[in-house]
Each structure stands twice: as C-alpha cells, then as structure tokens.
Homo-oligomer: A and B are copies of this chain.
Amino acid sequence: MPRPKSHSRENLLDSALKAFWKIGYHVVSMGDLVRETGVSRAGIYSDFNGKEDLFHACLDRYQETVVTPAFAPVEAEGADIDSIETYLNNLLTRFEKSGGFGVGCLVGNTLTQIPEDAVETRQKLRAHCDRLTAGFHKVLTHESDDHGLLTPAEIGELARYTMISVQGIWSYSRLTEDVAELRAASDMLIRVLKSQLRGAPR
C-alpha cells in the first residue's frame, strides 16, 4: 500500500500560485518554489512535469480558488450592475489586505510576458478573459433588457471593454499603494456602465 504524501497537492498549488502571482512565472525559480511551498524538489517533480506544467496547474487553481469566488457575484443568477460593483469591491478589499503594492491579476501579469509560441498558456489566458467578458455580457444583456438603449453588438463591445478596463485597473494596482486611486477608477467604471446602459444620469 502506497504511503500518502506528506504534502497535499492543494497546498503545494496554493503556495506556488502565490509565488507565481507575486513574482512572475519567469522570475520565480524552482528553488523559490521549494522554499515557499515547503515541498521537496522530488515532491514537486513527482506531482508535475516541470515548471511549466506546475504553472498551468496554478492557472487552473487560480480560476477555481480566486476567480470563481471573487467573480461569483457577477456569475450569479440575476446579477446586475451592483454585482459588478461588488466584484470590484472584492478586488479592492484584496488589495487593501495585501498592504503596499498589489499583485494585480495572475492572468494580466502573465500575458504581458507570454512568448508568441506558448500556445497552451495563451489559451488559458484567453479563457480567463472570455470568462470575464461572458460574465459581464450576461449582466449587461440583462440590464439592457430593462432599458433597451444598446444593440446586441454594442453590448458585446461594452462587455469586452469592461473586461479590458478591469484588467487595466489590476495592472495599475502593481504601481500604486493608494487604494483611493483604484477605488476612483472602479467607481468610474461603474458609473460609465450605468450611463451607457441607462442613458447619462449624472
């Protein structure tokens, strides 16, 4: 009977995810990962086929343990613009708890460094962006039904625009220590969405 591993795959992934997220895929070393995860080199290599494979697993883990809970309000049944605001507030709270500079979004951090030929990685990043866009799209469609100011094509464009703006906010969170700057941007995005959907209230 095989002896169970002393480390759990989940804990390994969570620690590695944290390191990749904060430091970046290329800069973090296997030595860093051994130290941060507390798992031996052999332990890591017995669970994963090398660094890239571990990273891909971390991208999946990121979806499950970070995006899913944070984005849940938007993906929930009957979500509306306030749900998007809740989602953004979740991220602002995460930023505040981190103290100092933020770590941004693992996906956004990665895509600015992705080589042309990293097909599988790019695919995962795109899936994340499409997931966010789809979440926003559903909300915007639902909201638009009540007002009818936008065409379906415009809703699609606004949804992707929202995703892009959110990515921008989290990029910028690596550069500022001031949550007020991020909150202002977040509030502005919400205001923009409301005004696009419902016609300029102010």
A residues contacting B by CB (< 8 A) are 23-24, 26-27, 100-101, 104, 108-116, 122, 125-126, 129, 149, 157-158, 160-161, 164-169, 171-172, 174-175, 181, 184-185, 187-189, 191-192, 195-196, 199-200, 202
Q: Which residues of B contact A149 (CB under 8 A)?
A: 202
Q: Which residues of B contact A126 (CB under 8 A)?
A: 175
Residue from A100, A108, A115 having most chain B Cβ neighbours under 10 A: A108
Task: Please give the count of copies of this chain that the complex contains.
Answer: 2
Contact of A112 among B109, B116, B160 (CB under 8 A): B109
Q: Which residues of B contact A24 (CB under 8 A)?
A: 26, 112-113
A62 to chain B, nearest CB (A): 15
Q: Is the CB of A171 within 8 A of B108?
A: yes
Q: Which residues of B contact A115 (CB under 8 A)?
A: 23, 27
A118 to chain B, nearest CB (A): 11
Q: Give 5 closest A-B pairs by Cβ, nearest first.
A: A168-B168, A200-B200, A109-B112, A164-B168, A161-B188
Tell me the interface secondary structure of chain A in the complex.
helix
A31 to chain B, nearest CB (A): 16
Q: Is the CB of B195 within 8 A of A200?
A: yes
Cα-based distance from A175 to B161 in the complex (angstroms): 14
Q: Is the CB of A172 within 8 A of B113?
A: no
Q: Which residues of B contact A189 (CB under 8 A)?
A: 161
Q: Is the CB of B160 within 8 A of A181?
A: yes
Q: Which residues of B contact A122 (CB under 8 A)?
A: 175
Contact of A171 among B26, B111, B184 (CB under 8 A): B111
Q: Which residues of B contact A175 (CB under 8 A)?
A: 111, 114, 122, 125-126, 129
Q: Which residues of B contact A157 (CB under 8 A)?
A: 184-185, 187-188
Given contacts A24-B26, A160-B181, A165-B165, contact A100 B116 (CB under 8 A): yes
